[in-house]
Amino acid sequence: MATAKLYFEDVKGDETLPSFQLTVTRTHIVKYIGAGGDFFPIHHDEEFAKSVGLPSVFANGLMHGGMLTRVLTDWAGDGRVGRYKIRFASMVWPGDTLTFAGHVVKKYQQDGANLVDCELSVVNQKGESAITGEATVTLPTRK
């Protein structure tokens, strides 16, 4: 069980979650491929990627989708995410600088649980959406 980092009473209905930025490197992509086991050459072989009409290799969407969970865990603490849903919007290339962000959209109690719904996003340096998402976290009370 996670140690309380944030309590339900502390959450504001329009709160902005801590954001962070990351410039994607080929090393990030290759590490994720190794960890995730997706060795399709479009993610690591430059010549193959170009042979199918792409300008370069690109990141597997689940790489930055997984990184996006850090917005939630930095804010609420580990072990608090109960629902997580993402939608891929555009490709991420080596050299892209991504901003990972989120905000609270709803705070409520249901079936004895303290729940907070959040909207999430990953946006590149051009302002283009790479991922949109939503999540629900469960928080303890101070009582």
pLDDT in tens, 52-101: 999 999 999 899 999 999 999 999 999 999 999 999 999 999 999 999 99
Whether pLDDT at 16 is above 50: yes
Do residues 44 and 57 touch, judged by C-beta distance below 8 A? yes
pLDDT for residue 112: 94
**The predicted structure's pLDDT at residue 3:** 53
Boundaries of every domain in the chain = 8-138
What is the phi/psi pair of residue 55, to 5°? -75, -20
- pLDDT tens column, 27-38: 999 999 888 888
CB 21 within 8 A of CB 100: yes
Q: What is the pLDDT of residue 119?
A: 98
Q: How many other C-beta atoms are found inside a 10 Å radius of the C-beta of residue 7? A: 14
Yes or no: is domain 8-138 CATH 3.40.50.410? no
pTM: 0.91
